[in-house]
Every structure is written in C-alpha cells, then in structure tokens.
Structure 1
Amino acid sequence: MLEKEFFTEYGEASQYQIQEVVGKGSYGVVASAECPHTGGKVAIKKMTNVFEHVSDAIRILREIKLLRLLKHPDIVEIKHIMLPPCRKEFKDIYVVFELMESDLHHVLKVNDDLTPQHHQFFLYQLLRGLKFMHSAHVFHRDLKPKNILANADCKIKICDLGLARVSFTDSPSAVFWTDYVATRWYRAPELCGSFYSNYTPAIDMWSVGCIFAEMLTGKPLFPGKNVVHQLELVTDLLGTPSPITLSRIRNEKARKYLSNMRRKEAVPFTHKFPNVDPVALKLLQRLVAFDPKDRPSAEEALADPYFQGLANVDYEPSRQPISKLEFEFERRKLTRDDVRELMYREILEYHPQMLQEYLQGEENINSHFLYPSGVDQFKQEFARLEEHDEDEEERNSPSIQRKYTSLPRERVCSSDDEGGDSVHAQTSSASVVFTPPQTTSTATRLSSQKTTQIDKAKAAATPVKRSACLVRSDSICASRSVGVSSAVS
C-alpha cells in the first residue's frame, strides 16, 4: 500500500467530529458528527459483532450493496465506511450516513396541520425514489412511515433496505419469497394470505397507498391486530374481492377463505375520507386496489393528475437492472469468514486506492497487518459518548423510539408497533431508542413560509420549485433547533 494511502486512511477519523449519541439498540450505536472541512452533518453508525450471526451479516452486506448501487436523491446515502484495522479479524463496522432529522412517522405524529401541498410533495418524492428502485428490479418490501427519513425542509428519503430483494429474472414480477416479514399494517393483502407465489412491485405500491392515507388522516389505514383482522379491515373498506380477482388467486386455502367471507360492498372513498381532494382520492383508490394488477406502477402513479404542475419526467430517472454478479453470493452457502471477506471487499468501494490494489491481485493487502486505523479513534470516541449517554439517561425522562439511519437490526417490538407480528419480530428491523431533547426549542414549530425545491437526480438541471410550510421535527441534536434551509439541496 502506498505511504500516502496509509496516512490518508489513518487520518480518516479526523474528518468527523463526533458530537453525541442519538440512538442505540441491539445492533450498536448511532452518533451525530460534523465534518470540520465542509461543516456538513452526518450520522455515524457503529455496528458491533456484525459477524456473530451469519444471516444478519448477510442482510447488512445486502443493504450496504443496495445503497451503493441505488444512489438517488430520494434514497438515503452512505457517505463513507471506515476501513477496518485488520481484514481477517474485524468485528465492528462504522458506516457514515447523511444526517436526517426525523422520519415520516414522527412528522405525521407531531404535525397535526400538514397541508395538501405537504402530502403531495411527500408522496411525489416517495414515488420518485420507488420508481428508481423498481427500475433496478429491487423491491423494498417494508415501506412504512418509520422507514422514510425526513427533514424540516420537507425532504424525505427511503431507508431501511434490510428486507429488500433483487429480481434477476427477465420480468421483475417473477419473484418468489418465503421470508417476507414486512410490518402487517402496510402489507399488501396478497402477502397477508400468501395468495400468490409470484409477487410484483405492486406490493410496494400498496404500502405507498397506506402511507398516503395516513398522511391524509393522521391515522393508519388498516391497523390490524393479526392477519385475519387485517384482511377484515381491508375488505371492510374495499369490499370482498370480485370473482375475477378470486380466480387469479392460486392458493386454494386463501381463495376458499375469501370466497366464504361475508359479502361486503366497498365503502365510497368520499365517505371514508371527507374533505379530501377528489383527485387525491382517485389516486389513493388506485394504490390500494385489492388486485395487484389494478395498482399503478410508481412511474404510472407519477403521471397521475394529482401531480399536475409538480411532476417532471426529466427529474424522475430510472436505471438499468442490477447485475446478477453483484449478488452472486446469495446463491451459495457462506461461512462467517466468507461474509467477512465480502464485507471487506464492499468497504473498499469507499477506499478507491486500496480497491485498485485489491483488484490487481494484491491479496495480502491488510490481511494480517494491524495498523493504527481511524477505527481505533472512533472506538474511543464512541465509548466516551456511550458512558456519558448512560449518565444522561438516568436523569432524563423515558426515551422514545426513533430511527435516523438505515441498515437491518433486530426488531424492538412494542404491543402497538404498527402491527408487527411477534412471529416476525426476531428477524425484522428495529426502531432506535432516542433520548428526547433537553430544550424545548427543538419542538417549536418551524412555520415560516419557504420555497422548497425538489432535488434533481444527481444530474445538473433546473429544479422544480414548490411552496410549502416547513414541518416541525424533533431534531437529533439535543442542544439546538433544527436548521432551516431555503431549499432542498
């Protein structure tokens, strides 16, 4: 390794000034940090004992890969991953994310007077990110308000791709999953009853519809207590499925169950959602169609009249499907050392010089030599912050559950955790425990009118502008208010 590269890697920890712990759980710790050179803020996630369980390590590897391959303004971005001190023995990973102040779940909870313009702007960004994701033949599979990060300037980003999967068939619709564990309240009906063996991107579009309805009303649309109750709530609103829809269900038990269900008529959406724009209701009705064939794709939804004056196809990019080679490891049984080596290779994507040497066949690069990595400095900083944070917790009121960044981890379920089935709790994703701010300034309303931009998809172009009231957000910085910018950068 070049001497220049050695000292560059050693100094990478000095790129960030770690400030405070903003979340922690069984997966590790999240701290906010600032880059002294740019003044930008980031979230650094320390994941401990990553390779203790091979299945969890594979999920983390999968998501890190997906976030690298799906670079888009509406999908959370990994800024950097710290180079481990030793290639063959490292256990912890430090991932640097862009910092987002809140998530859509808390935005909807805290703001009881969001305007139709907010709803439209949020939904547009969500669909735009999803269009890009689906064009790559990636299905998120766990969309919900907690998995959509948000800033006070109305910018949102899709996160938590721990359950996402890539389809490598000729058609993105031919995907068979046996491990689907999405949160029940936002789960498409075909997944509640295992109606089909081939699922389509329509499973994500159903979740989008549920999220849209929650924006409009401030309440979950289908808060089922169990799978049966979930289907009851769905059919209470949409009516029992038509004979044509039933004929498409290949699962005999599911088809029989729905056929024997008491006949229900659909409730007019104008009755269920009074005082909501009829154009918005028409789109919502399409998104939550019982039959997945009747739901629009993300691209089709973006062309809906609801987005007239906002949508611009020039800022709604697609991409080529992801190559099979990126996920070749999914087709073989991996040992702990196999996953560690694959993870190291992925980390090198953020260290170009070392990646070049690695690809040139210098297999001994950082294999056993333990050099003073920047990770060592981070370990000391995190240990100090965690000790301080534990002292603070003893003096503070009970924490609330929050999430700021992505990457899978064991779920921390509560009894009302958006319908999370206990049978699924062991393998799904968790909310991060967050200590509330000590000052009231972070909970004040950011109500001044500002001009908001919809970002471009990394390409230079004139952004579309929207006028929207900034939303209140619980800042992750306990000592100061959420910063307000005049545009979404």
Structure 2
Amino acid sequence: AANVYHRDLKPKNILANANCKLKICDFGLARVAFNDTPTTVFWTDYVATRWYRAPELCGSFFTKYSPAIDTWSIGCIFAEILTGKPLFPGKNVVQQLDMMTDFLGSPSPEIISRIRNEKARRYLSSMRKKLPVPFSEKFPKADPAAVKLLQKLLAFDPKDRPTAEEALADPYFNGLAKVEREPSCQPISKMEFEFERRKFTREDIKELIFREILEYHPQLLKDYTNGSEKTNFLYPSAVDNFRRQFANLEEDGGKGGAPERKHVSLPR
C-alpha cells in the first residue's frame, strides 16, 4: 500500500520471535515507486537472491515492475515452508528460468510478447513446450487450501498474482486473518526520498547526521538554530506514522521503542 518494493524477500530476511511475531528486515535493496514517475525500467535487474527472484527480474521481462515481485518471493518462501527445501535453487539465471518453466510450464505467447528483453523473448520462444506440473503433485502432503493459495502466488505473469491484501483474504487464512484490522499505509511522499535525488558533500552529510541527533534533544536543537534561519525539519515522518499504525501488533503496544521524532530530518 505504501508503494515500497522490498526486492529481496527471503527466509533470512524474515525475523520471528518465540511468540511468532514476524518482522521484515534488510531494506537495503528496497525502492519506492511514485505514481507519477516511470517505474523501474531504470532499476537494476540484479536484485533479490536468485532462488526467490521473480521471473520478470530474471530477464528484464516487463517495462513496469510492480509489488508482484515481492508476492512471488513470498510464494517461494511459503513453498519452502511446506517442503523444507528451496523450490527453485538455480545456480544461474538460465537454470532459474528452466526450473520455473519445468514446474509452471511454458509461458503463453501473449506473455512472451510483452517481455521487453529481446534475448529473453527469444530464449523463452525457442524453449521446448513444457506442460505445468500440478501443484497437488508437487505438494502432496500440503493442505489443499494452501496449495491453491500457492498457485496464485507463483503465477508466472505478475498481473495474475494477488496483492498482499488479496492474499490475506484467501480462504486459507479463514479464522486467522482479520483483513479489516490490517493497517494500510498511505503511499509514501516524495519528500521522504528527496535525498535520493540530490548530491551531498561530506560536510552536508555530517550536518544531516548532526541535525538528526538533535531531533532527540529539542533544547539543543533550539540552541543550535537560535539566531539562524528556521530549521528545515518540516515534513511529518512516514516512519513514525507507520510505527503508530502497527503499534497494536507490538507486545508493549509500541511504547518500548526509540523516542519518536516529531519531524524527519529532511532539508528543503
């Protein structure tokens, strides 16, 4: 909902405690997509650990990526939970695509025609015709409802994969998920990522770090800015807003974390 793509979801990046509280970590490859900005054709395609990488990331398939790249990764993780081993442990991109099509079957001509990478189009078009393996055969001991959900998550075409909200509403989670209680985040403002569009000197970065520290010491911040122009900390923090939305999921109600910032450290 926030238009943030993690791009590297894998078991290692999902943390769990003794009470089965889950959190996602390692946002080093994450990117934000803005509605009025051309999305991701300029993003590097070498993202995500190969075994959990969506087909469209293996071959620069589509002009515009979507959160479905993370949905695919979730499907791979879910399959690994069901079997205890990775679903597509490819050693390179070509083998990765081969393993995907061995299981899911050859993509349709319609899907292939929408692939922007000519080399990938030729490779998939020249591939021998493969029939899909029934998910019930691949996961014979799994709950049939889990198998149906997994089949949706691992659709070759990203537009056929469910959103996170749709996946939570799947019958497999009946009695567990309460979609109406799931917090949804507003898309993140461009202001939060203005720093990615600017070039900073070493001194600029030092100043930003220092001002960030002062955010937790209001009196020092006031003293620092006294007599100079008004501080540039103007925009409400999406991080703090997001933390408040999920406070009910924390064991301590969200009261035991770091002091909350009143503003983000984003200069005009």
**Length-normalised TM-score, structure 2:** 0.80
Q: Could you say if the C-alpha distance between residues 314 and 252 of structure 1 is closer, same or farther in structure 2, counting changes exceeding 3 Å?
A: same
Picking from 194, 201, 206, the partner of 1:335 is 201
Quote the Cα distance in structure 1 between the aligned partners of 2:13 and 2:102: 27
CA contact (8 A) 1:315 1:457 kept: no
| 1:86-485 equivalences in 2 (<5 Å) | 135-170=1-36, 174-176=39-41, 177-178=43-44, 180-355=46-221, 457-459=246-248
Cα distance, 1:347 vs structure 2: 3.9
Give the aligned residue type for 1:216: L
Which deviates more, 154-163 or 344-353? 344-353
Q: Which secondary structure does the structure 2 equivalent of 1:149 belong to?
A: strand
CA contact (8 A) 2:45 2:57 kept: no
Deviating beyond 3 angstroms after TM superposition, the runs of 4 or more aligned structure 1 residues are 343-363
Q: Which secondary structure does the structure 1 equivalent of 2:19 belong to?
A: coil
CA contact (8 A) 1:240 1:264 kept: yes
Quote the Cα distance in structure 1 between the aligned partners of 2:190 and 2:3: 11
Which structure's residues are more often helix, by fraction? 2
Cα distance, 1:354 vs structure 2: 4.2
Quote the Cα distance in structure 1 between the aligned partners of 2:152 and 2:25: 24
CA contact (8 A) 2:56 2:62 kept: yes
Cα distance, 1:342 vs structure 2: 2.8
Q: Could you say if the C-alpha distance between residues 218 and 359 of structure 1 is closer, same or farther in structure 2, counting changes exceeding 3 Å?
A: farther
Quote the Cα distance in structure 2 between the aligned partners of 1:142 and 1:362: 43
CA contact (8 A) 2:45 2:60 kept: no
Quote the Cα distance in structure 1 between the aligned partners of 2:227 and 2:58: 48
Q: Aligned pairs, how many?
A: 234
Cα displacement string for residues 384-432 of structure 1 (whole angstroms, at most 9, x for unaligned residues): xxxxxxxxxxxxxxxxxxxxxxxxxxxxxxxxxxxxxxxxxxxxxxxxx
Q: Which secondary structure does the structure 1 equivalent of 2:23 belong to?
A: strand
CA contact (8 A) 1:212 1:284 kept: yes
Q: Which secondary structure does the structure 2 equivalent of 1:143 belong to?
A: coil
Quote the Cα distance in structure 1 between the aligned partners of 2:227 and 2:49: 44
**Length-normalised TM-score, structure 1:** 0.45
CA contact (8 A) 2:14 2:24 kept: yes
Quote the Cα distance in structure 2 between the aligned partners of 1:179 and 1:362: 45
Which sections of structure 1, spanning at least 5 residues, go unmatched?
1-134, 366-455, 461-489
Cα displacement string for residues 197-221 of structure 1 (whole angstroms, at most 9, x for unaligned residues): 3110000000000010111111111
Cα distance, 1:360 vs structure 2: 6.6
TM-align CA RMSD: 2.4
Quote the Cα distance in structure 2 between the aligned partners of 1:179 and 1:244: 22
Cα displacement string for residues 51-71 of structure 1 (whole angstroms, at most 9, x for unaligned residues): xxxxxxxxxxxxxxxxxxxxx
Query: Who is 1:370 aligned against?
Result: none
Q: Which secondary structure does the structure 2 equivalent of 1:219 belong to?
A: coil
Quote the Cα distance in structure 2 between the aligned partners of 1:164 and 1:340: 24
Quote the Cα distance in structure 2 between the aligned partners of 1:292 and 1:197: 12
Cα distance, 1:254 vs structure 2: 1.1
| 1:69-88 equivalences in 2 (<5 Å) | none
Quote the Cα distance in structure 2 between the aligned partners of 1:361 and 1:320: 37
Quote the Cα distance in structure 2 between the aligned partners of 1:138 and 1:346: 23
Quote the Cα distance in structure 2 between the aligned partners of 1:174 and 1:145: 27
Q: Could you say if the C-alpha distance between residues 199 and 351 of structure 1 is closer, same or farther in structure 2, counting changes exceeding 3 Å?
A: farther
Cα distance, 1:190 vs structure 2: 0.5
Cα distance, 1:353 vs structure 2: 4.5
Q: Which secondary structure does the structure 2 equivalent of 1:185 belong to?
A: helix
Quote the Cα distance in structure 2 between the aligned partners of 1:335 and 1:179: 29
Which sections of structure 2, spanning at least 5 residues, go unmatched?
232-244, 250-268
Q: Which secondary structure does the structure 2 equivalent of 1:157 belong to?
A: strand
Q: Which secondary structure does the structure 1 equivalent of 2:15 belong to?
A: strand
Give the aligned residue type for 2:145: V
Cα displacement string for residues 253-309 of structure 1 (whole angstroms, at most 9, x for unaligned residues): 211111111111000011111111111011101111110010001011111111111
Q: Could you say if the C-alpha distance between residues 296 and 361 of structure 1 is closer, same or farther in structure 2, counting changes exceeding 3 Å?
A: farther
Which structure's residues are more often strand, by fraction? 1
Give the aligned residue type for 1:174: T
Query: Who is 2:234 aligned against?
Result: none
CA contact (8 A) 2:47 2:57 kept: no
CA contact (8 A) 2:7 2:69 kept: yes
Quote the Cα distance in structure 1 between the aligned partners of 2:181 and 2:128: 46
Give the aligned residue type for 1:323: S
Identical aligned pairs, as a percentage?
A: 71
Quote the Cα distance in structure 2 between the aligned partners of 1:234 and 1:197: 21
Cα distance, 1:161 vs structure 2: 0.6
Cα distance, 1:325 vs structure 2: 1.3
Greater relative contact order (Cα 8 A, min sep 6): structure 1 or 2?
A: 1
Query: Who is 2:242 aligned against?
Result: none
Quote the Cα distance in structure 2 between the aligned partners of 1:229 and 1:238: 14
Cα distance, 1:247 vs structure 2: 1.8
Give the aligned residue type for 1:196: F
Q: Could you say if the C-alpha distance between residues 361 and 252 of structure 1 is closer, same or farther in structure 2, counting changes exceeding 3 Å?
A: farther
Quote the Cα distance in structure 2 between the aligned partners of 1:357 and 1:322: 31
